[in-house]
Amino acid sequence: MKIPRIVCLGGGNAMPKAILSGLKNYPIKLSVICAMLDSGGSAGRLR
């Protein structure tokens, strides 16, 4: 059986909490593309 690939596009505070934490227990290949500029929540600390 092939391992599913999932790509998440977006950013902000909802991505890691709502989506990624729910998917981490599944046998998938997960890629995330998020912008470094958003509302200033998490990315604001990276700058």
Range of the domain at 23: 5-46
pLDDT at res. 1: 83
Amino acid in the structure at residue 47: R
Q: Which residues of the chain have pLDDT under 70?
A: 11-16, 36-47
Nearest to 33 by CA among 14, 10, 16, 17: 10
User: What is the total count of domains within the chain?
Assistant: 1
Residue 30 bridge partners (DSSP): 6
pLDDT of residue 43: 52
* Residue pointed to by tokens 């958003």: 38
Look at residue 32 in the predicted model and tell me its pLDDT. Answer: 80
